[in-house]
Structure 1
Amino acid sequence: MAGGLTQDADPSMVNPALRVSDEAHFYIPSLGEATPESTPTPGVININTATVEELQTLQGIGEQKAGDIVHYREENGPFSRVEDLLKVSGIGSKTLEDLRPLITVG
């Protein structure tokens, strides 16, 4: 209904599994446009680099869970994929699915 991609858009830069939420914003680069790896997607939090305070901005993540995420990361190294968040005590499937569009590991 949104009209799809423009002719210049690079479809390889779109994650078709990403859940879209109301008022979400997405930037899709043009074909051949350079996109630095370090440029985060607006509103998406990298769970490998986020502080406790940043993690607490996620709905359903309070001080305790945010601390648990950081502690797990410090003890076990960076998360390889978003699903690894399930290894953190107190994070279940429902929480992961709610967080999935809001977090990244890259």
Structure 2
Amino acid sequence: MPLQTHPTEPAQQDEPQESLYLIVEIKGAIKQPGVYELPNGSRLVDLIVKAGGLLAESDNKQINQAALLSDAESIYVPVIGETLAVNEEEEKLVELNTAELAELQTLPGIGPAKAQAILVFREQTPFTSIEELSLVDGIGDKTLERLRPLVYVK
């Protein structure tokens, strides 16, 4: 039977809670590519297991199976002989003081809300170092470490 409240009682508002689950995509040389739900704090190896394992031709030397996953992340597992873009010319860094909302959302673990929080923060105080990202609501030490090689400040 549904819980009934009396009209004179104020409606209770639950505080927003961090999700207990991540939604992550895996594709490439994997047995069952797709989108999976995993507990928060899961690692790439957990996703690989849930997706049926790596294909025989996968190049697991190019992936970090111990990496922590973030919500809305997309993982690509290359095949042997395939080269992932890793040189400086192909890797595009994001400048924290000039990046637009959409560009910020290309970063791992940065969705619309965190991207907006970065914009609001920098309007009040432009970034002078990457470490200042930890002052933005919703960005903790783990996210900062994941973003450090992908961003810069002019």
TM band (smaller chain): 0.5 to 0.7
**Distance in 2 between residues matched to 1:95 and 1:65, nearest whole Å:** 11
When the two structures are aligned, how many residues end up with a matched partner? 71
The residue identity in structure 1 corresponding to 2:86 is A
Task: Give matches, 1:1-106, under 5 Å.
Answer: 23-26=85-88, 42-76=91-125, 78-106=126-154
The residue identity in structure 2 corresponding to 1:71 is V
User: What does residue 33 of structure 1 align with?
Assistant: none
Q: If each structure's strand is expressed as a fraction of its own residues, which one has the higher value?
A: 2
| Displaced runs of 4 or more, over 6 A | none
What SS does structure 2 have at the residue aligned with 1:60?
coil
Deviations 1:23-56 (A, max 9, x none): 31125xxxxxxxxxxxxx9410001100111100
**Superposition deviation, residue 75 in structure 1:** 1.5
Unpaired runs of 5+ residues, structure 1, are: 1-21, 28-40
TM-score, structure 2 normalization: 0.43
Root mean square deviation, CA, Å: 1.6
What SS does structure 2 have at the residue aligned with 1:97?
helix
Unpaired runs of 5+ residues, structure 2, are: 1-83
Assess if the C-alpha contact under 8 Å between 2:85 and 2:91 holds in 1: no
What SS does structure 2 have at the residue aligned with 1:80?
coil
The residue identity in structure 1 corresponding to 2:139 is I
TM-score, structure 1 normalization: 0.62
**Distance in 1 between residues matched to 2:92 and 2:88, nearest whole Å:** 10
Identical aligned pairs, as a percentage?
Answer: 46
The residue identity in structure 1 corresponding to 2:103 is E
Q: If each structure's helix is expressed as a fraction of its own residues, which one has the higher value?
A: 1
Deviations 1:74-99 (A, max 9, x none): 012x1000000011010000000000
